[in-house]
Amino acid sequence: MATENKASATVSLQSDVLDEAFEFDVHHGTIGPSVFDIRKLYGQTGMFTYDPAFMSTASCESKITYIDGEKGELLYRGYPIEELAESSNFMEVTYLLLNGELPNKAEFENFNTIITRHTMIHEQLTQLFRGFRRDAHPMAIMVGVVGALSAFYHDDHDFMDPAQQLTSTHRLIAKIPTIAAMAYKYSIGQPFVYPRNDLPFAENFLHMMFAVPAEDFTGNPVLAKAMDNIFILHADHEQNASTSTVRLAGSSGANPFACIAAGIACLWGPAHGGANEAVLNMLGEIGTTDRIPEFIARAKDKDDPFRLMGFGHRVYKNFDPRAQVLRKSAHEVLDELGVRGDGLLDLAMKLETIALEDEYFVDRKLYPNVDFYSGIILRAMGIPPSLFTVLFAVARTVGWCAQWAEMMGDPSQKIGRPRQLYTGSPRRTYAPISDRG
Ligand code: CMC
């Protein structure tokens, strides 16, 4: 491990067969909680640790992203997310996450050229879209089409080779927005719009989403900046569920395009990337501001499974720094588009105010998270809710690729294999069906 100041932790175990103390190495990170290394625990004690949702488990060592949930801090390679959102752009952040350092001018231009050389997808892949129902959820299309990329880049590829790993990550980062925009165009029956390599990443994406061959399309710089911010803020988030899925899938040596498809599948769920779509669905269900108290009461009722979507976070127990950046963007976008009178967006703003003052939410530190505001911005831009998680996937592909590449280059890397606490039937004997009562 990379840490130098070693300490140790002593764990004493008492059971029917054991009464002994065991010592484990403690490793310190540069910042954040230290870990004690239990890799030899099972060998020494015959016992596992039990931590089903990884509440106290570091699954890997990483140098990419740091989160301090208590302080509400998110750093990419050491840089605070607020500074990056204010002064950087998504391509530069992509370079930073992949390479560990910010690029100089020449490195940035070279990187941009490399990425734009990969923005088109194999023309044969466009046929695949026709196999989907028109009303298919775009995340289903993303899982399918990104997974299918593995069929185009597999046979002659050695994913243990760092040069080929790099090319795969460049392909993924460049092609994902093209595929995402195609999924949208397919769902509304419009022709696919090919990428424009002269446009920056967010502008190109909006162009592929909203341009049509029959008319000129002029982008709006306020919307492009908000889109770029959404991409920056969602680019990585250390070992969240989808990133852990990508790492676990990749740990078997699987094709990286298939691993990213697995990450997309995981991201789809409403407790993860599906939350911003769920926010809009919830606002639709609430309908009018006079019904907010009823839904706040339901969110507090332990017998009701309803939760306020877009509130709370597993790690940020103070505030979500990404939400603070996007709150500002949301107001800029609403002003630019002059849509403040929109019922749903007004409702969202009132819900935010009420929940921020409510004792239940204040006591539990349940603040609006990034998905609350990204949902509002995307809705105002005219992006349908079913596409929200797709945009999250476009951004997070950068983090997934950086984390996958880091894992592949880690000399201690092995196939991931959690164990379990078995509570099923002990061994028993099979009885033929004729003998069962
Ligand atoms: N509405 C109402 N109550 C809530 C909510 C909510 N959104 N979130 C948490 N609580 C309550 C929960 O019932 C519990 O109360 P009590 O202590 O009385 O039992 C307390 O707050 C702690 O909640 P928890 O379930 O232990 O917290 P968690 O860390 O397991 O869950 C969460 C985190 C994000 C899954 C959860 O807050 C949630 O379901 N939020 C809504 C979905 C959402 O917005 N998800 C997006 C997360 S951000 C995107 C990302 O980074 O992936």
The pLDDT score that the predictor gives to residue 262 is 98
Which residue intervals of 18-161 are DSSP H helices? 41-45, 81-87, 90-99, 105-116, 126-129, 138-152
Average pLDDT, rounded, for the chain: 92
Averaged pLDDT, 410-434: 95
pLDDT digits (tens, 9 = 90+) for 223-233: 999 999 999 99
d(CA 36, CA 44): 15
- Tell me the C-alpha distance between 228 and 247, whole Å: 26
Is the pLDDT at 49 greater than 70? The verdict is yes
Give 21's strand partners: 12
Given a cut of 80, whether residue 178 has pLDDT beyond it is: yes
Q: What is the pLDDT of residues 104-128, one digit of tens each?
A: 999 999 999 999 999 999 999 999 9
Q: Given a cut of 70, is residue 341 above it in pLDDT?
A: no
pLDDT surpassing 60 at residue 387: yes
* Residues 293-314: tens digit of each pLDDT: 999 999 999 999 999 999 998 8
Q: How far is the CA of 308 from the centre of ligand 1 (A)?
A: 8
Ligand 1 binding residues, C-beta < 6 A: 237, 240, 271-272, 275, 299, 307-314, 364, 366, 369-371
pLDDT tens sequence across 249-260? 999 999 999 999
Q: How confident is the model at residue 3 (pLDDT cuts 50, 70, 90)?
A: low
Rounded CA separation 15/362 (Å):
42
The structure tokens listed for 408 are 């592949």
Q: Report how far residue 426's alpha carbon sits from residue 342's, in angstroms, rounded to the nearest whole number.
A: 60
- For the segment 328-348, the average pLDDT, to the nearest whole number, is 82
**Nearest Cα to Cα of residue 84 among 102, 98, 109, 64:** 102
- Cross-strand bridge partners of residue 24: 9
Given a cut of 60, whether residue 410 has pLDDT beyond it is yes
Atom of ligand 1 nearest to the CA of 311: 7
| Mutation test residue for ligand 1: of 364, 371, 372, 392, the one with most atoms within 8 Å of CB | 364
What pLDDT, on a 0 to 100 scale, did the predictor assign at position 159? 87
Q: Is residue 272 very low, low, confident or very high in pLDDT (cuts 50, 70, 90)? A: confident
Provide the CB-side half-sphere exposure for 304 (13 A, CA): 11
d(CA 396, CA 253) in angstroms, rounded, equals: 21
Positions marked active-site:
313, 371
List the beta bridge partners of residue 23. Answer: 10
Residue in this structure with the two tokens 């990204």, named with its chain if needed = 374
Please tell me the total number of residues recorded for the chain in this structure. Answer: 437
Instruction: State the average pLDDT over residues 332-356.
Output: 83
- Residue with the smallest CA separation from ligand 1 atom 9 is 312
Pocket test for ligand 1, best of 369, 373, 376, 400 (most atoms within 8 A of CB): 369
Residue 258's pLDDT is 97
Record the pTM: 0.90
Percentage of residues in the chain having pLDDT higher than 70: 98
pLDDT, tens digit (0-9, with 9 covering 90-100), for 232-244: 999 999 999 999 9
